[in-house]
Structure 1
Amino acid sequence: MANVTFSGPTLPKDLTVYAIAGDTGTLLALAKANDIPIPFQCQDGECGSCLVKVTYLDNKAPMAVDLTEKEKVTLSVNGKLTRSLLAAAETDHRPPPYRLACQFIVRDENIRIEFSGEPGVEPELRKSA
């Protein structure tokens, strides 16, 4: 099992839930099943409204690296996936810090998910406002 800790201004405190190893559901599906209000619109990887920041908490190489083609395009257009981050993800298996919750598949690893509570808004920008 994986521990997934959600953090966002729409939660009274950080909330940790368990993701079942081998489940192929998305991070957004896990959030919805646990009443965690990550903003979303299209649920198809095209709008970018479910932007989250992922921090890997284990002392091992991250497993959830693969970006979908839609995610690559949407994150690139929104300025969250530079060429160097894309190259690192594709060739060095280092995931970028920002992902789309509707495309991200949780693996057997402990992660922290930060979201702003507003569609497509970067978590750090929301916190400092």
Structure 2
Amino acid sequence: MATVTFAGPTLPKDVTVYAIAGDTSTLLALAKKNNITIPFQCQDGECGSCLVKVTYLDGKTPMAIHLTEKEKVTLSVNGKLTKDLLAQAEVNDRPPPYRLACQFIVRDENIRIEFSGEPGVEPELRKSA
């Protein structure tokens, strides 16, 4: 079972929830299920409003988490996916730091998700509460 820690200005403190192994729901669905308000609009990977920063907490190589075609385009257009980061994701299975919550499927690993509280705005780093 994976843990997902959400951090954002709409939360009074960081919130950690469990993600069930084998569940194919998106990160956005997990957030909604746990009453965590990540901004979103289209829920289809086209608008970029659910931009999040993903940090892997286990200290091991992250599992391959493939980008959807829509996510590649949206992250690229928003300047969050460079050609180098895309190549690392596609060739070496190294996930980029920014993802779309509506496209990201949580795997069996512990992660920290940072979001800004504003649609499509890059999250500012803050210390854990």
Q: In which range does the TM-score fall when normalised by the shorter chain?
A: over 0.9
For 1:28 and 1:82, the matched residues in 2 are separated by: 24
1:76-124, CA deviations, whole angstroms, 9 ceiling, x for partnerless residues? 0000000000000000111100000000000000000000000000002
Q: 5+ residue gaps in structure 1?
A: none
**1:120 alignment partner in structure 2:** 120
For residues 81 and 124 of structure 1, what CA distance do their matches in structure 2 show? 17
Match status 1:10 vs 2:10: yes
Give the drift of 1:59: 2.0
Instruction: Say whether residues 1:83 and 2:83 are aligned partners.
Output: yes
Structure 2, gaps ≥5 residues long: none
Residue type of the alignment partner of 2:79: G
Residue type at the aligned position of 1:69? E
Among all aligned residue pairs of Structure 1 and Structure 2, give the percentage whose two residues are the same amino acid: 86
Residues 77-86 or 56-65, more deviating: 56-65
Distance 2:82 2:43 in 1: 23
CA RMSD of aligned residues (A): 1.1
The match for 2:20 is 20
Residue type of the alignment partner of 2:71: E
Query: Does the 8 Å contact 2:64/2:93 carry over to 1?
Result: no
Paired residues in the alignment total: 126
The aligned residue for residue 39 of structure 2 is 39
The question of 1:92 aligning with 2:92 is answered yes
One-letter amino acid of the counterpart of residue 115, structure 2: F
Residue type of the alignment partner of 2:73: V
Q: For residues 27-61 of structure 1, give each alpha carbon's deviation from its aligned partner in whole angstroms, at most 9, with x where no partner exists.
A: 00000000000000000000000000000001222
